[in-house]
Structure 1
Amino acid sequence: MKQQTIGFIGGGNMAHALIGGLVADGFSAQKIWVTDLDQNKLAELKEQFHVNTSADNQSTVAQCDIVVLAVKPQVLAGVAKDIAAAVQARKSLVVSIAAGVRAADLQRWLGEETAIVRCMPNTPALVKTGATALYANARAGKSQRESAESVMRAVGLTVWVDDENLLDAVTALSGSGPAYFFLFMEAMESAGRELGLDDRTARLLTQQTALGAAKIAMESAETPAELRRRVTSPGGTTEQAIRTFEEGGLRELARNAMLAAERRSVEMSNQFGAQ
């Protein structure tokens, strides 16, 4: 992939993170192009990473082997139709990180022969600890799949799904998931303050505990259930807290929340695809 050129259509936070990850991995900044309507964003990216910048989507696509669509899903149809001819002429691989826009709709806007990889990253990509699921259409070959994965791996873990519909489940789990953990951390901080801890102490202890638990889960071969049982002593304080969560219906609440997120993801795909 290091011999290829990459063009980012949109220079927002996720594009910024991906560019930073690629450059940190040794990808040449001179092989990266970014377009955006916001000249301040372009100036910042150019100053920080020394990438090429432009306000012209078509000219950027015309010289890029990989085109990353990093614009809001609400405007993606117009952007895709605008660059379709350039994509077809260059035979670029198109990597979309726009949530809720199906590959079939992208193919309809860009051209039926277009190789497309849809990605569902999440916000921890901004700190190089993202989780991204990828889906490739039938036009994307093995080398193109590898190229798309290399781009997303610059900001964290990657997994592939064979059924595009599973990206709605991914959205409900890892896409929206950081907010679930933030909410739980918020609740823990609040309870800590109610128990007498000052704001700073409650926040630091909550943050470090979340970080430590995630690190143990990532490095252990045990399941979360096994890890939970390991730190839950019979008759102890943790057992009392866990029992309260269980009696309060935490599992069912989490299930219902993710089902609601998945339904909304499907609804948004239908809305964006109607453009």
Structure 2
Amino acid sequence: MAYIVLVGAGNMGFAMLSRWLAKVDDTGSVVEPAVLHRCTVRAQNTFAVVEPADALRERAIKAGAHVYASADELPAEPRPDVIIIATKPQTVAEVAELYSSRLAPDGLFISVAAGAGIATIEKRAGRSLAVIRCMPNTPASIGEGMTVCCPNTRATAAHRAVAQELLTSIGRVVFIEDEQLMDAVTAISGSGPAYLFLFIEALSQAARAAGLERELALLLAKQTIYGASKLALESADAPATLRKQVTSPNGTTAAAMTVLLRPGNGLTALVHQAVSAAKAKSIKLREP
């Protein structure tokens, strides 16, 4: 059993915590709340949370964690096996310095803060330790997240297994070895949910402009995006093939595609620009 300390219980921190503390029955199936699934880490680990904000602290208490307002309140023993940094990127270095002496000798730092690089954590920690930088996304709150992890050279197979166990409970997990790719990961899967939410907004607004009432417009937009996303995930066909299957020659979809695929200012060009801007910001965030 591992002792795990989560530093920061904001949106992402709490999304992970709520999965880890899900109640399970004797078979390992989650029974409360019903929407949760695939979580077995509750019975195998002990969790503590450090969160200065009163409202967020109360939320973590209700989830079932041991909660503290600051690092000073943490018990001296036992020393954490894993410290997960889920704070704003600007405070990651400070957290690494503050908590490095509290981490067990063979312990692990996991950072889920966008933009904060491994070198920053290593430098401020002041000692050689295992670090795994991870980029999850907000669908983690329903167990459908996408998390990409990059370990430093001190992270062993056992450290990777711990991160895999924790993060698989919130969705899919992949490891990469080149940290430079984390900026692109952040721009795609980290920021990606916001792109889809914006598209749902735009599609529902267009539906209303086309004459549909508000609730129906939003339902059509949400379910269409959900269904199409699930089809893309489960189908053996490439997204381009699926798109062409919907697009009959000279039909309604083809008319829409002439707008969305317009060279220079169509949807593809806008997405490229958006991802480029997000990637550039991620690079800037990890600069010393």
With the length of structure 2 as denominator, give the TM-score of the two structures: 0.87
Matched residues, number: 267
Worse overlay, 260-269 or 130-139? 260-269
CA distance in 2, matches of 1:8, 1:153: 17
Partner of 1:84: 100
* Gap regions ≥5 residues in structure 2: 23-38
Matched, 1:27 2:41: yes
**Matches of 1:259 and 1:72 in 2, distance apart?**
21
Which range moved further: 77-86 or 94-103? 77-86
Report the counterpart of residue 53 of structure 2 in structure 1. 38
Question: Following superposition, which runs of at least 4 residues in structure 1 exceed 4 angstroms of deviation?
Answer: none
Post-superposition shift, 1:40? 3.6
Distance 2:182 2:242 in 1: 28
Aligned residues of 2:5 and 2:84 also touching (Cα < 8 A): yes
Q: Is the 1:46–1:53 contact (alpha carbons within 8 Å) kept by the matching residues of 2?
A: yes
CA deviation after TM superposition for structure 1 residue 60, in Å = 5.5
d(CA) in 2 for partners of 1:130 and 1:162?
20
- 1:51 maps to a residue whose letter is A
Name 2:29's counterpart in structure 1.
none
Alignment partners' CA distance in 1, 2:200 and 2:69:
41
Alignment of 1:121-200 (within 5 A): 121-200=136-215
Question: Aligned partners of 2:167, 2:75: CA distance in 1, in Å?
Answer: 20
How far is 1:43 from its partner? 2.9
Deviation at 1:151, TM superposition (A): 1.2
Residues 197-249 of structure 1, C-alpha deviation per residue, up to 9 Å, x if partnerless?
11111111000101100110111111100111111111211111112211253
Aligned to 2:232: 217
Question: Is the 8 Å Cα contact of residues 32 and 52 (structure 1) preserved in structure 2?
Answer: yes
1:18-37: CA deviations, max 9, x gaps? 12212332333771111111
Distance of aligned partners of 1:54 and 1:148 in 2 relative to their CA distance in 1, 3 Å threshold: same
Percent identity, please. 37
8 Å contact 2:21–2:65 — kept in the other structure?
A: no
AA aligned opposite 1:225? A
CA separation in 2, counterparts of 1:44 and 1:146? 28
Of 6, 9, 13, the match for 2:7: 9
Q: Alpha carbon RMSD of aligned pairs, Å?
A: 1.8
Q: Does 1:66 align with 2:82?
A: yes
Change (3 A) 1:182 1:240: same
Q: 1:194 to 1:40 in 2, by over 3 A?
A: closer
Q: 1:241 to 1:112 in 2, by over 3 A?
A: same
- Bigger helix fraction: 1
TM superposition score normalised by structure 1: 0.91
* Amino acid across the alignment from 1:249: G
Amino acid at match of 1:190: Q
SS of the residue corresponding to residue 135 of structure 1 reads strand
Q: Does 1:249 align with 2:266?
A: yes
> What is residue 52 of structure 1 aligned with on the other side?
66
1:255 alignment partner AA: H
